[in-house]
A and B are shown apart, each in its own frame.
Chain A
Amino acid sequence: MFREITLGQYYPADSILHRLDPRVKLFGTLIYIIVLFVASEPISFGVITAALICIIVISKVPFSYMTKGLSGIVMLLVIAGVFNLFLTPGIPIFKLGPLTISDIGLKNAAIMVIRMVYLIVGTSLMTLTTTPNQLTDGLERSMRPMSKIGLPVHEIAMMMSIALRFIPILVEETDKIMKAQMARGADFETGGIIKRAKAMVPILVPLFVSAFRRASDLAMAMEARCYHGGEGRTKMKPLTYTAADRVAYLIILLFLAGIVALSILL
C-alpha cells in the first residue's frame, strides 16, 4: 500500500547539474525563489523562463518528473488564479454578469499562477538532481555559521539523515502491522473517511512503540561506535568546490543581478 512512497525523489542521471556541489544548488534555489518574488514585469519572467528551460535541458531529467509535484497544488492554483482574476479592482476589460475582470486582475492572476508553477518545478529540479545525503551534507555545511548562535546544526543534519534511513523500514513495518491486523479481521478498506481514519489508530500504537524501541537501539549502536556529537568528527565524503561550482555561483549571481536590474530599470 505504501510501497510507492519515495522521499527525496532523486532521479539518477549523469549531468553537470547532478555533479554540482549541493551547496551551490541550495544557494541557487534560494536565489531562484527570491527572484521569482522580486520579478513583476513580463520581461523578467521571460528571462526566468529562459533560464529555467536551460537548466531543465542541462539536468537530463524528464520534464514529466518535475510536473508531478504540480498535481498536488492544482486546487490551490485554481483558487488563487480565480480570486486574483475576479476580485482585483482596476479598469474593467471583460464583464460577464456579476463577474468583472480587470487589467490588473488579469496580470496578478497570471503572475501568481506562473510563480507557483515555477516554484514547484524549480525546487523539484533541485531534489531530483541531489541525493538526500548530499542535501543534508549541503545543509549542514551551509548552516554551519548558525551553530555559533547556538543552533544545533550537526544534530539537525544527523536527525534528517537518520530519518531518511528509517523511512523505508517504518513503511515496511506499517505494512506488516496492517497485514497482521487484517489477518485478524481488521478492515481498512471499507467505510467512510472517518471510519477508515479510526481504523488507523490501532496501527499507530504498535508503530510508535516499535519506533521508540528502534530509536533506543540505534542510539546505543551509535554510542558503541564512539559517536559523541559533531565535535572532532571528520568526514568520509567532505564537500569541496570545483571549478564548475565556482562558475555556477557566478552564473547565479549574474542572474540575480540581471533580474534586480530589470525590475529597477522598468
Chain B
Amino acid sequence: MRSMINAKQLTHEFFRRDEEGNVEGISVALDHVDLDVEPGQFIAILGHNGSGKSTLAKHINALLTPSEGTLIVDGKDVSDPANTLDIRETAGMVFQNPDNQIIATVVEEDVGFGPENLGVPTDEIWQRVEAALRGVGMWEYRSHSPNRLSGGQKQRVAIAGVMAMEPKCIILDEPTAMLDPDGRAEVIRVAHELNEKKGITVILITHYMEEVVGADYVYVMEKGHIIMDGTPTEIFSRVDELIAHRLTVPQITLLAHKLKMAGMDIPDGILTREELIRVLCRLS
C-alpha cells in the first residue's frame, strides 16, 4: 500500500537575519526526520514548544518546503510548486487559534470557503457543507456567527471547513491548546470519529499526553529530532525516559509504573483506568 505521508531525511532551517537582512545564524527546526504514515492511521506527534512539530505539520500542507530531504504526500512531492494545491486538497490543516482561521461571518459560509476555492459547483458545495457540518455535529449552528460559539465549537467548525474539501488526511496542529477541558474532549472525539467512520488519516500534534492514548502510532519530537516512536503502549512503557525528556505521563500510567517499581507484578504501558483495574483484580 502506498504510504500517505513519507518523509526521508526531512530537514528545515530557519535563517535568522539582522536588520540589513544578512544571515546571522541558522536554527534547525527539523533535523533529518524520517516518518511514514499509512492511509487510515491515527498518528500523534508529541513534543514541547519549539520541538519542530508545527514546522513538520506545515510541511505536510506545503506551507513550508524542505531545505533538505524529501516529503511525499499521497505520491506527490511537496517541493514541487505545481503540486501545492493538490497537496493542500489532500492534506487539510487545522490550526491552534480557532478565531484566526475562520474567514466568514456565518458558519456555513466558512465551511464553504475551501470548496469555493477549489471551484466546486454551487450545488455540490451545499452538499459538502451539510455533510461536513453534520460530521462534526455543528449542523444546527450553520447560520450562526462564529463569534458567538465556544472555543470547542469554533474548532469543530474549522475541522468541518477542512472536511468540506474532502481531504484524505487531516493535520491538527495543537487544536486543543487554547480550549477548556470540555472543548478539548469535543475536538479529540471528533478527530477519532472522522478517523474511524470515514477512514481519514489523522495527524494530531499536541503536547497533552492524554490525547495521545487513542492513537495508532506516536512520534515524540525534541529539538527537531524524532527521539521516540512506537505505539502508545510502547511509548508509555518507557516512563523513565519520558520523564527524563520532561514529558509528563498520564496519571494512570504513572501510578502503574510506581506500583511496579514498588514490587507489584504489573506490566508496562498501562494507558487507561480500565486496564489498570483489570490488572489489579487479577493480582489479588
Interface contacts (Cβ under 8 Å), in number, total: 90
User: Which residues of chain B in 126-167 are interfacial with respect to chain A, using CB atoms and an 8 Å cutoff?
Assistant: 126, 129, 146-147, 161-162, 165
With A233-B117, A233-B119, A236-B122 in contact, do A225 and B88 touch (Cβ < 8 Å)? Answer: yes
B173 closest partner in A (C-beta): A224
For residue A77, give the distance in angstroms from its CB to the closest CB of chain B. Answer: 34
For residue A87, give the distance in angstroms from its CB to the closest CB of chain B. Answer: 47
Number of interface residues of B (CB under 8 A): 38
* Residues of the B chain whose Cβ atoms lie less than 8 Å from the Cβ of A162: 103
* Residues of the A chain whose Cβ atoms lie less than 8 Å from the Cβ of B85: 226, 228
B77 on the A face (CB < 8 A)? no
Chain A contact residues (Cβ within 8 angstroms of B): what range? 20 to 34
Segment at the interface with B among A29-37, A59-67, A143-151, A213-221: A213-221
* Contact of A224 with B105 in the complex, beta carbons under 8 Å: no
With A169-B147, A226-B118 in contact, do A236 and B125 touch (Cβ < 8 Å)? Answer: yes
* Residues of the A chain whose Cβ atoms lie less than 8 Å from the Cβ of B119: 232-234
- Once bound together, how far apart are the Cα atoms of A83 and B91, in whole Å? 66
- Once bound together, how far apart are the Cα atoms of A57 and B184, in whole Å? 50
- Once bound together, how far apart are the Cα atoms of A223 and B119, in whole Å? 15
User: Which residues of chain A in 224-249 are interfacial with respect to chain B, using CB atoms and an 8 Å cutoff?
Assistant: 224-228, 232-238
* Residues of the A chain whose Cβ atoms lie less than 8 Å from the Cβ of B101: 217-218, 221
* Residues of the A chain whose Cβ atoms lie less than 8 Å from the Cβ of B117: 225-228, 233
* Contact of A225 with B165 in the complex, beta carbons under 8 Å: yes
* Contact of A226 with B114 in the complex, beta carbons under 8 Å: yes
For residue A138, give the distance in angstroms from its CB to the closest CB of chain B. Answer: 15
With A214-B99, A217-B97, A225-B113 in contact, do A165 and B120 touch (Cβ < 8 Å)? Answer: no
B188-218 vs A, CB cutoff 8 Å, 1 = contact: the mask equals 0000000000000000000000000000000
- Once bound together, how far apart are the Cα atoms of A221 and B175, in whole Å? 13
With A169-B147, A226-B88 in contact, do A218 and B103 touch (Cβ < 8 Å)? Answer: yes
A52 on the B face (CB < 8 A)? no
- Once bound together, how far apart are the Cα atoms of A233 and B95, in whole Å? 23
* Residues of the B chain whose Cβ atoms lie less than 8 Å from the Cβ of A236: 108-109, 112, 115-116, 122, 125-126, 129
User: Which residues of chain B in 87-110 are interfacial with respect to chain A, using CB atoms and an 8 Å cutoff?
Assistant: 88-89, 92-93, 95, 97, 99-106, 108-109
Of B109, B120, B146, B161, which is within 8 A of A133 by CB? B109
- Once bound together, how far apart are the Cα atoms of A132 and B105, in whole Å? 9
- Once bound together, how far apart are the Cα atoms of A265 and B100, in whole Å? 59
* Contact of A224 with B61 in the complex, beta carbons under 8 Å: yes
B185 on the A face (CB < 8 A)? no
B126 closest partner in A (C-beta): A236
For residue A161, give the distance in angstroms from its CB to the closest CB of chain B. Answer: 7
With A133-B105, A133-B109, A165-B105 in contact, do A224 and B92 touch (Cβ < 8 Å)? Answer: yes
B63 on the A face (CB < 8 A)? yes
With A225-B114, A237-B109 in contact, do A165 and B122 touch (Cβ < 8 Å)? Answer: no
B121 on the A face (CB < 8 A)? yes
B97 closest partner in A (C-beta): A217
- Once bound together, how far apart are the Cα atoms of A162 and B109, in whole Å? 12
- Once bound together, how far apart are the Cα atoms of A66 and B3, in whole Å? 62
B117 closest partner in A (C-beta): A226
A222 on the B face (CB < 8 A)? yes
Given contacts A221-B93, A221-B103, 15 further A-B contacts (CB under 8 A): A133-B106, A164-B105, A165-B102, A165-B146, A214-B99, A218-B100, A218-B101, A218-B103, A221-B101, A224-B95, A226-B165, A227-B117, A232-B119, A234-B120, A236-B129
Offer 20 A-B interface pairs, CB within 8 angstroms, sorted by A.
A133-B106, A165-B104, A168-B147, A169-B99, A214-B97, A214-B99, A217-B97, A220-B95, A221-B95, A223-B63, A223-B88, A224-B61, A224-B92, A225-B92, A225-B165, A226-B114, A226-B165, A227-B113, A228-B85, A236-B126
